[in-house]
Amino acid sequence: MDRLTNTVRPYAWGSTTAIPELIGEQPTGEPQAEMWMGAHPGAPSRLARGTLDAVVAADPEGELGAATVTKFGPRLPFLLKLLAAGAPLSLQVHPNLDQAREGFADETERGVPIDAPNRNYKDANHKPELICALTPFDGLCGFRAPADAARLLDGLGVGSLKPYVDLLSAHPEEAALREVLTAVLTADTAEMAATVTEAAAAAERLGGEYAPYAAIARQYPGDSGVIAAMLLNFVQLAPGEAMFLGAGVPHAYLDGLGVEIMANSDNVLRCGLTPKHIDVPELLRIVRFEATEPGVLRPEADESGEEVYETPTDEFRLSRFVLAEGSQPRVLTAPTPQILLCTAGSVRAGDELLTAGGSVFVPAGDEAFVSGNGTLFRATVAV
């Protein structure tokens, strides 16, 4: 196995303290949003043998295993992260696989540069993802039932929101959600800013279930995404709980530290809470306009003590071990590659002693003997 050296991405929404506190370093005062573990070309992990993307490219079948290469090609199909949100991320959705392929081919054919700010599809892959909380973690996930969204908006007492309340109350679910989101995103910018300002003041005054949206408005004053966010379910995860985000489901992370795993893709369509490009027609093609209950996942333990977060995705499988001092070493082996990440205490993985934030890459078929007193996350491929 190989110890990984990983890059921390300093996105503006990142917490200045959460990752440094986890790994036992002094904060720099700058945001530290995501630590990437994987072979993504944007910030590949480094091994003694070179960068992980180069190591995989040199011997795909040896590093990834035949099953992974057959199904996903000669690349690591997942990206593992530590994610530390100190402010809300953009409200967003991800395409399914067919939509990603179509969108990538269309933009490529039209000559849209891959790094253009108005490009939606950076690759031809989908981006299902799972976030597992290490601290209390707040987010938004999926549409509320139209009647519940109407009640929430109406309770603000803002006259300019009345047309949205009426639409939500008068139409079937899919039409109601589609019409209101479309209206919010295409409204006159100045008029919407005034509405958001009034709504934010009301949310501050009312508190309670309005408090998360008041906090969002403080970060993004006048942004139409504040109203769009009120159409979504507010979710609070306790440490150890997780949330799966499939294609077409609008979502945003608001606050907290977690372990995130996703298919290896950069495809994001934004709905608000961002200064970046919003392609409304393409967004409306991708969003699934249906009310959902935000399913909170809790791991299921097998006889070996491995706690698995079950998802319908083949690109990744995330599990957790809570190890106790003096317990028997476990042998972790798989026909697919593994990344092991320690998030608490200290864990020995082979010859490597991992403390919080430490990680190793285990090539397909290799054995990893793990023991210690701490928490270890295991990321691999579900094939």
Q: How far is 255 from 87, CA to CA, in rounded Å?
A: 6
Q: Alpha helix (H) ranges present in 134-262?
A: 146-154, 162-170, 173-186, 189-206, 211-219, 225-229
pLDDT in tens, 146-191: 999 999 999 999 999 999 999 999 999 999 999 999 999 999 999 9
> Which H or E element spans position 106?
helix 97-109
Question: In the annotation, is 270 catalytic?
Answer: yes
Q: Is 115 helix (H, G, I), strand (E, B) or coil?
A: coil
Q: How far is 65 from 63, CA to CA, in rounded Å?
A: 6
DSSP summary character for residue 213: H
pLDDT of residue 327: 79
Q: Is the pLDDT of residue 276 over 90?
A: no
Q: Is the pLDDT of residue 138 over 80?
A: yes
Residues 6 or more apart whose CB falls under 8 angstroms from that of 234 comprise 138, 139, 140, 209, 212
pLDDT-derived band of residue 80, with 50, 70 and 90 as boundaries? very high
DSSP summary character for residue 348: E
Q: Which whole-number Å values give the CA distances from 270 to 89, 240, 243, in the listed order?
A: 10, 28, 19
Q: How far is 155 from 274, CA to CA, in rounded Å?
A: 26
pLDDT in tens, 316-334: 999 999 999 877 889 999 9
- In whole numbers, what is the pLDDT of the chain averaged over residues? 95
Q: How far is 380 from 370, CA to CA, in rounded Å?
A: 16
pLDDT in tens, 15-35: 999 999 999 999 999 999 999
pLDDT-derived band of residue 275, with 50, 70 and 90 as boundaries? confident
Q: Which whole-number Å values give the CA distances from 380 to 34, 113, 332, in the listed order?
A: 19, 33, 11
Among 208, 117, 191, 113, which residue's Cα sits nearest to residue 156? 208
pLDDT-derived band of residue 203, with 50, 70 and 90 as boundaries? very high
Q: Half-sphere exposure (CA, 13 Å, Cβ side) for 161?
A: 26
Residue tagged active-site, from 3, 75, 119, 270: 270
pLDDT of residue 204: 97
- Quote the percentage of the chain above a pLDDT of 90: 91
Q: How many CB atoms lie within 10 A of CB 67?
A: 15
